[in-house]
Amino acid sequence: MKKILKAKILQNKKIAEDHFCMDIGAPWLGTNSRPGQFLNIRVRDEATDPLLRIPLGIHRIRKKGVSLLYKVLGPGTEILKSRRKGEMIDVLGPLGNGFDLSVFSRRKNATAVLVSGGHGIAPLFSLAEELRRKKVRVEFFTGAKAGKHIIKTGELNKLGVKVHIATEDGTRGRKGLVTDIVRDYMKRNPNPEAIFACGPKPMTAAVAAIAKEKGIKAQVTYDEYMACGIGACRGCAVETTEGIKLSCKDGPVFDAEIIKWT
Amino acid sequence: MDLKIRIGKVRFDNPIWSASGTFGYGEEFKDFIDLDKVGAIVAKTVTLHERSGNPVPRVVETPSGLLNSIGLENKGVESFKRDAMPFLKKTKAKAIVSIAGATKDEFVQCAKALSGKYKPDAIEINLSCPNVSHRGGKHPLFAQDPVATKDIVSSVKRKTNAMLIVKLTPSVTDIASVAQAARKGGADAVALVNTYPAMAVDAEEMRPLLGNITGGLSGPAIKPMALKAVWDVYNKVDIPIIGIGGIMTGTDVAEFMLCGASAVQVGTANFVDPASQSRILKEFIAYLRKKKLNKASDLIGKLKT
């Protein structure tokens, strides 16, 4: 079930350069959303420019509603960041499939490896929360170009999550790519139950390659430009070994092994 | 309020329909809108054989517009009959199936396949998708050639007794002459316009924004041009017109009907707001009340000039 809702903005604040966090009051979404799903947001009512909604991954799921963590990247998010607490916002969701956590249902002392690049941390944060509730050990790898874009690590620590950091310019954590530190970790700890990744495609592709090499199941988010978000326009096509799938409806989370990485 | 519209042999409960390619096969919208109250659902175009569509990115936004190059991705007409037709038939909305082909024969085969219990209320012949190429024609699109238009329509007509709507491209010098050719071929109505051939560029990356380089433009950006196309055909050709192009509100519906449309199709708006057709219908009824009109059909072609 998905709905169009007019929900109240409870908070919309800057958390780092170009990064914002918006809390939306919508108990129905709080109850019905899963980590890995997304909302399609109309940044301004009745406007024809921007025309389309923008898809944003659900960052936190709580009883009173959901949160979105977004980076300002274009005209849509530029308007979104100017929206104020107390205003109503038009949201459509929850959309997409979300992460599949069935692998953890019967295992004790399981470990999950989560890998985020840039604001790819947005959906992985709610996943980490959910996994901790299931008593799964979480090793969280987060990377960005610079230390100022490494976010949410304190809150992850509070969840009891082990955080590993890499930055391309070396201003925080290890200098290099996040996938470098994932690779090193896997040498020492080769048997996590599953890997989850969200970030730029070269990063998720590298994670998929590591997972394949180690014989571990990986779930990655795979986005394409989309218009409707509900499977009608067939814009967000993803080529897989099982034929063409849609990022909005069949994804955005896919088993890494079925994606035809190019 | 009498919203009924009759085109050919078919009576529609209201003149607000969904445009092909923007409403899936209807089912995707059932969480958002009472499909029984949609005038007609025009299903996404089907072809004789499965098509995998064009490379991504397939959609990109432009000012007040949506540029797409989906490339008629679909699983083929037989799969459509099995997987989509039963649901379409179950709704009270009229079921219209859009068909396309690379050759005349493929159109004919497709129409033939839609017979018996799979016969829709109408067939929309899509002669104007800007995102596919066809073999042997002298123009990129069939609907840029009045001779090919008439030939395909009359060939389809011989194989089906379903109501025929012919969807035209605005990318021609004289759209009325193509509408005339469709009429002579036996069309019951023409639908106009399909998307405008267009492109968008990322100057920073020095690349096209669509995977297929060019695509078709829809949305509010094209409405003034679409109104002109409807007006031109209304004044020159004696055939019912289905108006399409950037309809977002009930007032937009009225504008198209004033210019001569008997009904309209809502397209891009479905992507912005999946419940838009029920809102647009309410707004259209409010418009008719304000104008003290009791029948929607009284509006057709009533532009004061």
- How far does A80 lie from chain B, in Å, by closest CA? 16
Torsion-angle region of B175 (φ positive above 0: left; ψ -120 to 50: alpha; else: beta): alpha
Q: What span, in angstroms and rounded, lies between the C-alpha atoms of A220 and A208?
A: 8
The DSSP bridge partners found for residue B126 are B167
Scanning the structure block, which residue is given the tokens 């590298």?
A: A206
Contact B280, B32 (CB under 8 A): no
Q: What span, in angstroms and rounded, lies between the C-alpha atoms of B72 and B70?
A: 6
Q: And the tokens for A148?
A: 């100022």
Q: What is the pLDDT of residue B81?
A: 96
Rounded to 5°, the CA angle A18-A22-A28 comes to: 150
* Class of CATH domain A222-262: mainly beta
Q: What span, in angstroms and rounded, lies between the C-alpha atoms of A234 and B260?
A: 32
Q: Write out residues in chain A with pLDDT < 50, as ranges.
A: none
pLDDT tens by residue, A141-170: 999 999 999 999 999 999 999 999 999 999
Q: What span, in angstroms and rounded, lies between the C-alpha atoms of A260 and B47?
A: 26
Does ipTM exceed 0.85? yes
Q: And the tokens for B29?
A: 């919208």
CA A121 to chain centre: 6
Answer whether B250 touches A (CB < 8 Å).
no
Q: What does CATH list as the number for A102-217?
A: 3.40.50.80
Residuewise pLDDT in 10s, chain B (305 residues): 999 999 999 999 999 999 999 999 999 999 999 999 999 999 999 999 999 999 999 999 999 999 999 999 999 999 999 999 999 999 999 999 999 999 999 999 999 999 988 999 999 999 998 777 666 667 889 999 999 999 999 999 999 999 999 999 999 999 999 999 999 999 999 999 999 999 999 999 999 999 999 999 999 999 999 999 999 999 999 999 999 999 999 999 999 999 999 999 999 999 999 999 999 999 999 999 999 999 999 999 999 99
CA B63 to chain centre: 22
Q: What is the pLDDT of residue A262?
A: 77
The tally of CA atoms less than 13 A away on the side-chain side of residue A72 is 17
Q: What span, in angstroms and rounded, lies between the C-alpha atoms of B189 and B147?
A: 17
Q: What is the DSSP string of chain B?
A: -B--EEETTEEES-SEEEPTTSSTTSGGGTTTS-GGGSSEEEEEEE-SS-B--PPSP-EEEETTEEEE-----B--HHHHHHHTHHHHHHSSSEEEEEE--SSHHHHHHHHHHS-GGG--SEEEEE---TT---SS-SSSSGGG-HHHHHHHHHHHHHH--SEEEEE--S-SS-HHHHHHHHHHHT-SEEEE--PEEEE-EETTTTEESSTTSEEEEESGGGHHHHHHHHHHHHHH--S-EEEES---SHHHHHHHHHTTEEEEEE-THHHH-TTHHHHHHHHHHHHHHHTT-SBGGGGTT----
Task: For A201-232, give one letter per residue: b (16+ CB within 10 A) or e.
Answer: bebbbbbbebbeeeebbbbbbbbbbbbbbbbb
Residues of A with a Cβ under 8 Å from any B Cβ are 1-4, 42, 48-53, 92, 224-228, 230-237, 244
What residues of B are labeled active site?
A: 129
Q: What span, in angstroms and rounded, lies between the C-alpha atoms of B282 and B284?
A: 5
Q: What is the pLDDT of residue B136?
A: 61
In total, chain B counts a number of residues equal to 305
Contact A252, A222 (CB under 8 A): yes
CA-nearest of A207, A141, A143 to A172 is A143
Q: What is the pLDDT of residue A106?
A: 77
Q: And the tokens for A190?
A: 């080769």
Interchain pair A42, B63: CB under 8 A: no
Answer whether B65 touches A (CB < 8 Å).
yes
Given A4, A224, A227, which is nearest B32 (Cβ)? Answer: A4
Answer whether B222 touches A (CB < 8 Å).
no
Q: What is the pLDDT of residue A233?
A: 95
Q: What does CATH list as the number for A3-95?
A: 2.40.30.10
3-class secondary structure, A157: helix
Scanning the structure block, which residue is given the tokens 């069949």?
A: A250
User: Which amino acid, A101?
Assistant: L
Q: Domain ranges in chain B? A: 5-54+71-196+219-299
Q: And the tokens for B60?
A: 């990109």
Q: And the tokens for A243?
A: 């034929």
Rounded to 5°, the CA angle A92-A98-A101 comes to: 155
Q: Domain ranges in chain A? A: 3-95, 102-217, 222-262
pLDDT tens by residue, B236-261: 999 999 999 999 999 999 999 999 99
Interchain pair A48, B64: CB under 8 A: yes
User: Which amino acid, B288?
Assistant: L
CA-nearest of A150, A6, A184 to B273 is A6
Given B59, B272, B274, which is nearest A235 (Cβ)? Answer: B59
Interchain pair A233, B73: CB under 8 A: no
CA B286 to chain centre: 25
List the single best residue of B32, B56, B252 to mutate versus A (max A Cβ within 10 A): B56
pLDDT tens by residue, B107-161: 999 999 999 889 999 999 999 987 776 666 678 899 999 999 999 999 999 999 9
3-class secondary structure, A159: coil
Contact B248, B269 (CB under 8 A): yes
pTM given for the model: 0.94
B5-54+71-196+219-299: which CATH architecture? Alpha-Beta Barrel (3.20)
